[in-house]
Amino acid sequence: MNHDSYSDSYIRGILNTVKTIAMVGASEKQNRPSYFAFKYLLERGYRMIPINPGHAGETMVGQPIYARLADIPEPVDMVDIFRGSQYALPIVQEALALKPPPSVIWMQLGVRNDEAAALAEANGMKVVMNRCPKIEYGRLSSEIAWMGVNTRTISARKATIGGVQRMSLNRVTAPGGATAASDRVQRGDGGH
């Protein structure tokens, strides 16, 4: 698989099928990116399990923190790696020892380890590298548009404030933004 680019259908398929996500490197510090991603996905209805050996036995957004993947008392569908690239291979090896193993390995923004990806794929797992499931969920559900980003997706659906909300990830993104004047400028007609 080409890990430099993922189709929307590939990402959408993962986000629509996983239910339980173990986040390795989750931080209970509210100013950390892992905290934002964890809380966001939890609020969208995913079962989130934080993994952080320095805080095992504590809770994060009401969820018990485990020291390692092997300590989780239930199956997980996806392991989200919020650690440096050099840690990805041992985390994938630990994930492969789970019974049953997860179906997805997801490496966060800035995390890429081709050896870890190859090992996961050789064992039947889907892999995403250098992407954030929070960002991808927001983009594919058009929810990110409510935060001031023009995704060029047309929807009359309004955000629900508070509570668990799982958006549709099956929206169609339209190119949008073109007008007769902008088309003339692109052709070099000077907009006239």
Token pair of 52 as six digits: 């952080």
How do strand 59-60 and strand 63-64 relate by DSSP bridges? antiparallel
- How many whole angstroms separate alpha carbon 71 and alpha carbon 49? 11
Structural domains of the chain, with CATH: 1-192 (3.40.50.720)
State the sign of the Cα–Cα–Cα–Cα dihedral 125, 130, 135, 136.
Answer: negative
Task: Report pLDDT for 143.
Answer: 73
Task: Report pLDDT for 169.
Answer: 62
Task: Report pLDDT for 86.
Answer: 98
Task: Report pLDDT for 48.
Answer: 98
Task: Report pLDDT for 141.
Answer: 86
Report mean pLDDT in 10-residue bins for the chain, 192 residues. Answer: 93 97 95 94 96 96 97 98 97 97 97 98 98 93 58 50 54 45 52 48
What are the backbone dihedrals phi and psi of residue 106, each rounded to the nearest 5 degrees, phi first?
-120, 125
Token pair of 180 as six digits: 């007769």
What are residue 20's DSSP bridge partners? Answer: 47
**Residue in this structure with the two tokens 């430099």, named with its chain if needed:** 4
Name residues whose C-beta falls within 8 Å of residue 186's C-beta, 6 or more positions apart in sequence.
none
Task: Report pLDDT for 182.
Answer: 45
State the sign of the Cα–Cα–Cα–Cα dihedral 76, 23, 68, 81.
Answer: positive
What are residue 21's DSSP bridge partners? Answer: 48, 78
Task: Report pLDDT for 146.
Answer: 47
- How many whole angstroms separate alpha carbon 142 and alpha carbon 172? 9
